[in-house]
Amino acid sequence: MKRDGYELGPDGFSQEEMQQLMPHIEILTYNRQFRELFGFDESQIITAKRLFTFIKDDWKKLFGQELVAMYNDRSSFEAEFEIIDAGSQTRHIYLSVNYSPEDYDKVVYGLLDITDLRVSIEALRDSETRYRTMFEGNQLGVIYANRMTSVIRFNPAFQQMFGFSSQEMNELNENDILYPEYHEESDRLFGLLRQGQIRSFQMEKKYKRKDGSDLFANTTVTGLFDNRDNYYGSVTILEDVTQKMANQIFIERQNDELKKINTELDQFVYSAAHDLRSPIANVIGLMDLIRQEKISDRAREYLDLQEKSLSRLDEFISSIVNYSKNSRLELNLSNFDLREMIEDSIAQHQHIPHAGNMKVKVVTEGECELKSDKDRLNVVINNLVSNAIRYMDCNKEEQKLEVVCRPVEDLCEVTFRDNGVGIEKEDLEKIFELFYRANHSSEGTGIGLYLVKETVEKLGGTIHVDSEFRKGTEFKFTVKNYNDRVTS
């Protein structure tokens, strides 16, 4: 570069002044690395003025000062500054400017890209700060120990956990505060670490604090190894889980108690249902015997009415028991054939008056082998079958019920479609409510459909009803198929 004498003003050069200075510097030659650093291609003419625009604004003034000082004093200088390269990235540059020994009119600019170095230094500083924050301000106790596992450094959290003074800490060995039953295992693991057989280990330990109270901690011990892989100490991180353990024990105890209450309640429901049903069974049985005797038609009629009332009571008890079971017990999964279950249920309901008149069609579209809770699904199917029969429309020429089952993804969809008496619009949205009875003359308990809905939901599905008064009703429900090998 050609040199020219320039006076440096008291505040160095302004940016504008530098812009004026630059055209006087003529670039004579440069190497490939230089070109690539700034992202020029071979055809481009590189001027000093152009180069100056790459320098980050904050650095321009300083750079100008150095440059002018050098020209005036015929000295050399070194500087670190930042440029914005062709790809708009900030790059750290180390610059060394020297007069050429052969020709004092020429100046040699040596540039070194030190961006990576800078980034590394920053990262190092960051990691040191992070480390310090972790060590000093952490909730976790941290201890550094030497080869012989005596404590050499500990953080404030550790000291707080145990309540020892710094003086006491310095004389402490881990086994002094660890419950004896943990010594053997702890020593064994430390031994493996020392021999380099393991690099770290985790262990749940029980310690005694200075005040004598217990401290449960999850510890993670990491070995420290030098360049030659020789063990020289360890870092232990302790998480105080005393409160967690206490909570866990409390929850477990409570859980056991709940289980016991649940079993007792189950037992209670079971025997209450049995004791309620026994006398009903007796009376129904006796009524059956009375029918075998010579009795008047009127007495026979009364017996029928009596049996109807008792059956209603009997159904009520079953519903209550099923409701209690559904809400409390876990799902009991097994594989079964849905079609078979529906057909069995229909067969079981043939004792209801006029049931035989109903034309029933069961259609299965695809695989109907199902994995679900059999007892619960039985409750759903039985209720829907019994409703379809009970609310048949005897004024119609034919009484029909169609049941369609089909797999839909991981569910099984079942549709009950009848041409029965139907449900009025205002009742439709309430029929799944507890103790709601749409048909006021009916013998229903107001539990059946509520139970159906609750049970379907417990089985991972949904239920919808669609009905037209006097035309018929359609119930469509889904249940989850827990059988994962089913492909629909």
Partner 1 sequence: MIYLIDDDDIQNTINVRIIEIVAPEREVRVFKNAKRALEALKEVRENAMEKEPTFLLLDLNMPQMNGWEFLKHFEDRQNPWPVYILTSSINEQDKSRADKFPSVAGFLSKPLTTTAFEQIIAEY
Closest distance between partner 1 and the C-beta of residue 195, in Å?
A: 57
Selected binder of partner 1 within 375, 393, 402, 457 (CB under 8 A): 375
Binding segment for partner 1 among 42-50, 112-120, 202-210, 277-285 (CB under 8 A)?
277-285
Residue 456: name the closest of 342, 386, 387, 380 by CA: 380
Residue 294 near partner 1 by CB under 8 A: no
| Residue with smaller CB distance to partner 1, 198 or 280 | 280
Alpha carbon 367 to chain centroid, angstroms: 33
Tokens of 285: 């049985």
Count CB atoms within 10 A of the CB of residue 373: 22
Cα–Cα distance measured from residue 256 to residue 308, given in angstroms and rounded to the nearest whole number? 43
Selected binder of partner 1 within 265, 270, 304, 357 (CB under 8 A): 270
Selected binder of partner 1 within 2, 147, 188, 274 (CB under 8 A): 274
CB 422 within 8 A of CB 396: no
- Mention every residue, 6+ apart, whose C-beta is less than 8 A from residue 26: 1, 2, 48
Cα–Cα distance measured from residue 467 to residue 65, given in angstroms and rounded to the nearest whole number? 93
| Residue with smaller CB distance to partner 1, 53 or 278 | 278
Closest distance between partner 1 and the C-beta of residue 269, in Å?
A: 9
Count CB atoms within 10 A of the CB of residue 56: 14
CB 210 within 8 A of CB 164: yes
Residue 288 near partner 1 by CB under 8 A: yes
Closest distance between partner 1 and the C-beta of residue 259, in Å?
A: 17
Residue 286 near partner 1 by CB under 8 A: yes
Tokens of 252: 């477990």
Question: Contacts from 443-447 at CB under 8 Å and sequence distance 24+?
Answer: 443/308, 443/311, 443/312, 443/390, 444/390, 445/312, 445/315, 445/316, 445/319, 447/316, 447/319, 447/320, 447/323
Residue 292 near partner 1 by CB under 8 A: yes
Residue 345 near partner 1 by CB under 8 A: no
Residue 200 near partner 1 by CB under 8 A: no
Closest distance between partner 1 and the C-beta of residue 258, in Å?
A: 21
Residue 273 near partner 1 by CB under 8 A: yes
Closest distance between partner 1 and the C-beta of residue 277, in Å?
A: 4
Binding segment for partner 1 among 204-212, 228-236, 267-275, 438-446 (CB under 8 A)?
267-275
| Residue with smaller CB distance to partner 1, 178 or 377 | 377
CB 456 within 8 A of CB 471: no
| Residue with smaller CB distance to partner 1, 221 or 379 | 379
CB 87 within 8 A of CB 113: no
Residue 331 near partner 1 by CB under 8 A: no
Residue 328 near partner 1 by CB under 8 A: no
Question: CA 334, 339, 340: angle at the middle one, nearest 5?
Answer: 70
Residue 112 near partner 1 by CB under 8 A: no
Give me the residues that bind partner 1 (CB under 8 A), please: 270-271, 273-274, 277-278, 280-282, 284-286, 288-289, 292, 317-318, 321, 374-375, 378
